[in-house]
Amino acid sequence: MIVKPKIRGFICITSHPDGCAANVQEQIDYVKSKGPVEGGPKNVLVIGSSTGYGLASRIVPAFSSGANTLGLFFEKPGTEKRTGTAGWYNTAAFEKAAAAEGLFAKSLNGDAFSHEAKSKAIDIIKNEMGPIDLVVYSLASPVRKDPDTGEAHRSVLKTTGGEYTNKNLNTDKGEIEEVTIGPATQEEIDNTIKVMGGEDWELWMNALDEAGVLADGVKTVSYSYIGPELTWPIYTDGTIGMAKKDLETVCERLDSKLRDKYNGSAYVSVNKALVTQASSAIPVVPLYISILYKEMKAKGLHEGCIEQIQRLFADRLYSEEIPLDENSRIRIDDWEMRDDIQEAVAKSWDTISNENLANLADFDGYQEEFLKLFGFGVDGVNYDAETDPETSPPSIT
8 Å CB contact between 68 and 93 = no
Beta-strand relationship, 68-73 and 164-170 = unpaired
**Partners of 183 in beta bridges:** 159
Contact between 111 and ligand NAD by CB under 6 A: the answer reads yes
Helices (H), 101-232: 115-124, 186-196, 199-210
The residue (of 82 and 259) whose beta carbon lies closer to ligand NAD is 82
Beta-strand relationship, 7-8 and 152-154 = unpaired
Question: Residue from 89, 113, 267, 318 that binds ligand NAD (CB under 6 A)?
Answer: 113
- Using CB under 6 A as the criterion, what x/- string covers residues 119-138 for binding ligand NAD? -------------------x
Q: Give me the count of residues in the chain.
A: 397
Catalytic position from the list 89, 223, 235, 288? 235
The residue (of 176 and 247) whose beta carbon lies closer to ligand NAD is 247
The residue (of 8 and 102) whose beta carbon lies closer to ligand NAD is 8
Contact between 73 and ligand NAD by CB under 6 A: the answer reads yes
Contact between 225 and ligand NAD by CB under 6 A: the answer reads yes
The residue (of 239 and 279) whose beta carbon lies closer to ligand NAD is 279
**Partners of 137 in beta bridges:** 47, 222
Which range of residues in 49-57, 62-70, 153-161, 187-195 is near ligand NAD by CB under 6 A? 49-57
8 Å CB contact between 2 and 386 = yes
Q: What are phi and psi of 159, to 5 degrees?
A: -85, 165
Contact between 140 and ligand NAD by CB under 6 A: the answer reads yes
* C-alpha count within 13 angstroms, C-beta hemisphere, residue 215: 18
Contact between 112 and ligand NAD by CB under 6 A: the answer reads yes
Which range of residues in 5-13, 168-176, 274-282, 388-396 is near ligand NAD by CB under 6 A? 274-282
Contact between 74 and ligand NAD by CB under 6 A: the answer reads yes
102: left (phi over 0), alpha (psi -120 to 50) or beta: left
27: left (phi over 0), alpha (psi -120 to 50) or beta: alpha
Question: Residue from 157, 193, 208, 273 that binds ligand NAD (CB under 6 A)?
Answer: 273
8 Å CB contact between 142 and 88 = no
Question: Residue from 3, 21, 53, 335 that binds ligand NAD (CB under 6 A)?
Answer: 53
Question: Residue from 67, 121, 139, 157 that binds ligand NAD (CB under 6 A)?
Answer: 139
DSSP 8-state code for residue 272: P
Contact between 383 and ligand NAD by CB under 6 A: the answer reads no
Q: Where are the beta strands (DSSP E) in 132-264?
A: 132-137, 143-145, 152-154, 164-170, 175-181, 214-224
Question: Residue from 48, 238, 286, 393 that binds ligand NAD (CB under 6 A)?
Answer: 48
30 noted as active-site residue? no
Question: Residue from 25, 141, 342, 395 that binds ligand NAD (CB under 6 A)?
Answer: 141
8 Å CB contact between 238 and 161 = no
The residue (of 39 and 323) whose beta carbon lies closer to ligand NAD is 323
Question: Residue from 168, 231, 271, 392 that binds ligand NAD (CB under 6 A)?
Answer: 271
Question: Could you tell me the end-to-end alpha-carbon distance of the chain, in angstroms, rounded to an integer?
Answer: 25
The dihedral over CA atoms of 359, 365, 367, 373, expressed in degrees to the nearest 10, equals -170
Three-class secondary structure of residue 148 per DSSP? coil
The residue (of 140 and 213) whose beta carbon lies closer to ligand NAD is 140
Contact between 274 and ligand NAD by CB under 6 A: the answer reads yes
* Distance of closest approach, residue 261 Cβ to ligand NAD, in angstroms: 25
Contact between 279 and ligand NAD by CB under 6 A: the answer reads yes
8 Å CB contact between 24 and 54 = no
Count of chain residues binding ligand NAD (CB under 6 A): 29
**Partners of 69 in beta bridges:** 44, 105
Which range of residues in 4-12, 146-154, 222-230, 251-259 is near ligand NAD by CB under 6 A? 222-230
Three-class secondary structure of residue 183 per DSSP? strand
Contact between 239 and ligand NAD by CB under 6 A: the answer reads no
Contact between 63 and ligand NAD by CB under 6 A: the answer reads no
Residues that bind ligand NAD (CB under 6 A): 48-54, 72-75, 87, 111-113, 138-141, 223-225, 271, 273-274, 276-279
Catalytic residues: 235
